[in-house]
Copies of this chain bind each other. A is one copy, B any other.
Amino acid sequence: MLSKKTKYGIKALVYLAKQEKRLPIQISTISQAENISQKFLESILLTLKKKGILGSKKGKGGGYYLLKDPKEVPMTNVMRLLEGPIAMVPCVSLNFYEKCDDCPDENACAVHKIMIKVRDNTLEIFRNTSLADLSF
């Protein structure tokens, strides 16, 4: 299951992607439009900024804005920034790999076997979907 943080983060990014101009949008504007707690959204956008996908401006007329063209932001990136691993088990994760304690041989593991398939499939979808694709 996706965390609320990820869900809200995606919604906010798509909201920003929908803007015609790349002007800063305030947190309060997004939180109202998307029914997200403002304080919670504040922390989410801040981490997205720290991770380099958003820019920000302080003071009047300030807010957050996308640093890249939405067409150039695949959902793989977004998911990894917000949720972390895309894989269902760490032992099949490309970017967040961890060995299982209980598993002496990954290649002999049934869970590994099927979760590799799920990962590849999900990854393909996220790779081929950009923020721009979700903005219609």
Cβ of A88 within 8 Å of any chain B Cβ, yes or no, is: yes
Chain B residues with CB below 8 A from A7, complex form: 89, 111
Interface size on A, residues (CB 8 A): 34
Q: How far is the CB of A106 from chain B (nearest CB, A)?
A: 13
Copies of this chain, count: 2
Report the bound CA distance from A109 to B15 in whole Å: 10
Q: How far is the CB of A9 from chain B (nearest CB, A)?
A: 10
Chain B residues with CB below 8 A from A1, complex form: 85, 88-90
Chain B residues with CB below 8 A from A88, complex form: 1-2
**Chain A 29-60 interface residues, beta-carbon cutoff 8 Å to B:** 34-36
Q: How far is the CB of A78 from chain B (nearest CB, A)?
A: 10
